[in-house]
Amino acid sequence: MYWRVAAGIIAMLYVGGVAAEEAAPAAPPLPSEKNGTASASTSNSKPVIAMPDATPGDYWTYEVRDEIGGTVTEVRKVMVTEVTPKEIAMRFTVVGSERSGPIIYDRGWNVRLSGASKYSPNDGTGVELPLTVGKTWKIKSDEISSANGFTFKRTGSSRVTGQESITTKGGTFEAFVVETSYSTQNTRDPTRRSEVAARTWYSPDIDHWVKRAVTIRQGGHLMQQIGIELTAYGRKGNT
């Protein structure tokens, strides 16, 4: 089980969500990348300025690491292709490969469609804006796979636990820390159950998250520990 970009992880892993019961891959660099080591330090609550709404051409680039093996598994770039009042359409590309595809988000960066997976109403890996420390929300959705017809029930919750200044290869950001935990269960076989715990650093300054740490367990056993870090970002008019 892995983040499907989709956000994907991507969609929870990268750009948005974790695949329910399958092992799948995983995040990109561009102009004005800054060198540095990802770090975070707790600070008092600070004002943040929300970035204007996403527009076609905006992009975010992420490096994805297998924390158990200690290796970078891929670099992934996601770019906005269309914005509607209810959805944001994006295209992901994996640097150094021919892999690419679409991801559809709602306006809170929850994945609605990624590859063969459709989420109803969404995958629950985004945020509920505006963010404030202490805010909580529930996750309850269905993941329906057009590839095999399976449906996975997803239940859990998210909570904003703090506000931190965090530095990644993409820069230094004021971010809200969101703790998310949920379980997925195959409706055809209830014994096929996965538990996901994620910590996300979301920065209103760039209208996206800048770092993510994800742990996935199946049958009580650790299967994946994934780290995703922003390395570059830009707006179409400023690249």
Name the percent of the chain lying above pLDDT 90. 66
Average pLDDT of every residue of the chain: 82
pLDDT in tens, 172-207: 999 999 999 999 998 888 778 899 999 999 999 899
When pLDDT is cut at 50, 70 and 90, the band that residue 210 belongs to is very high
Listed range (16-25, 131-140, 157-166, 211-220) with the worst mean pLDDT: 16-25
CA distance 180 to 62: 20
The per-residue pLDDT for 238 is 58
Sign of the C-alpha dihedral computed for residues 229, 14, 88 and 136 taken in this order: negative
CA distance 153 to 172: 37
The per-residue pLDDT for 4 is 34
Residue with tokens 């830009």: 234
pLDDT in tens, 108-164: 999 999 988 999 999 999 999 899 999 999 999 999 988 888 899 999 999 999 999
CA distance 235 to 32: 12
The per-residue pLDDT for 86 is 95
The per-residue pLDDT for 51 is 65
Residue 19 confidence (pLDDT) above 70 = no
CA distance 158 to 132: 12
The per-residue pLDDT for 6 is 29
Average pLDDT over residues 31-58: 55
The per-residue pLDDT for 217 is 95
Q: Which long-range contacts (CB under 8 A, 24 or more apart) does 210-216 make?
A: 210/166, 210/168, 210/170, 210/173, 210/175, 211/38, 211/40, 211/166, 211/168, 211/175, 212/13, 212/14, 213/67, 214/3, 214/12, 214/13, 214/18, 216/1, 216/2, 216/18
The per-residue pLDDT for 191 is 79
The per-residue pLDDT for 136 is 98
CA distance 229 to 210: 6
Residue 24 confidence (pLDDT) above 90 = no
Residue 28 confidence (pLDDT) above 50 = no
The per-residue pLDDT for 96 is 94
